Structure 1
Amino acid sequence: MKAFDPYLAFNGNCREAMEFYQKAFGGELKIMTYGEAPGGNQSGDEKDLVMHSQLVKDGITLMASDGMGDNKVTFGSSVSVSLQCSSKEEADTFFKGLNDGAKITMPLQDTFWGAYFGMLTDKFGIHWLLNYDKPAAQ
């Protein structure tokens, strides 16, 4: 397997969400609307919905799109996006970046399993787990 990338779905606010994630994580963001797609014949607001977007940073890709028509998204608690951070500082930075309007489930903290870990649900309803596995004591 070459990659395993999360693909998020939104109800008309995909662009806002992906720009928010770009601000939180950095990286290069590409967005294509339904109206920009070859053969795109949507009218009104549908032409401005996101058909596909991707945020790429350090070889990691987060993709997303808007549902359209009868394909509305139902948010639930069955999936979370887990970020394996490379340092405690990176976990702090990402957590702070996602924190605007979020519901914090568990603040970042040292855990009994040897990680620095926290959980939140962002203002778009996406569940995030941030983890930094601390080096084992010598």
Structure 2
Amino acid sequence: MKTIQYFNFKNSLAALNFYEQHLGAANIHRVGGDDEMFKDMPEEYQVDGDFTMHATFEILGQTFYCSDTWKNKKIDNSGAIVTFTFDYNNEDERQQAVTFFENAINGGCVATMELGQTEWSPLYGMFNDPFGVTWMISAEE
């Protein structure tokens, strides 16, 4: 058994595009509201192709799910936090973490704690993305 973070967004297409461009999201699979499987839904539940019924994507090898909020209602994701932990002594993992953080900040995310050494981690940082999600990087020795 495992756990997978599931996000709801007012506009999943915008989030998926941002995550792909700036957080390195890959293997994006999206089911829009116009998918054939929804053709027989009652009219009041019909949505257009821009509406994301369900999507999956990977960042740093981890899987995430998302969908749009019903009728694209605004949602506050400020409580959603994702933490990536990695082996500080593994140079490849450390570089992936640094690159991920730098790309996020260069892409428009806001650092709430700059990437650096803390009392609890040799390399730790936090940032918020434009969709209200907080992302953390935390090295373990």
**Shared topology, TM-score over 0.5?**
yes
- CA change 1:51–1:127 in 2 (3 A) is same
Give the 5 Å matches for 1:81-92.
81-86=82-87, 87-92=93-98
Hey, what's the Cα distance between the residues in 1 that align with 2:100 and 2:66? 19
**Identity score, percent:** 26
Residue identity in the other structure for 1:22: E
Determine the structure 1 residue equivalent to 2:57.
55
Matches of 1:78 and 1:125, distance apart in 2: 8
CA contact (8 A) 2:8 2:66 kept: yes
The aligned residue for residue 79 of structure 2 is 78
2:19 counterpart (2, 18, 21): 21
Q: 1:98 to 1:79 in 2, by over 3 A?
A: same
TM-score, length of structure 2 as denominator length: 0.78
Map residues 43-122 of structure 1 onto 2, 5 A cutoff: 43=47, 46-56=48-58, 60-69=62-71, 72-86=73-87, 87-99=93-105, 100-122=107-129
With over 3 angstroms needed to count, the CA separation of the structure-2 counterparts of 1:37 and 1:111, relative to structure 1, is farther
**1:29: Cα distance to partner?**
0.9
Following superposition, the deviation at residue 28 of structure 1 comes to: 0.9
TM-score normalised over the length of structure 1? 0.79
Q: What are the superposed Cα offsets for residues 26-84 of structure 1, whole Å, 9 maximum, x if unpaired? A: 431101111115124625xx432111110136752111111122x62421532311112
Could you tell me which amino acid in structure 2 is paired with residue 53 of structure 1? A
Instruction: Answer yes or no: is the 8 Å Cα contact 2:79–2:133 preserved in 1.
Output: no
Tell me the equivalent position of 2:4: 5
> Gaps (5+ residues) in structure 2?
88-92
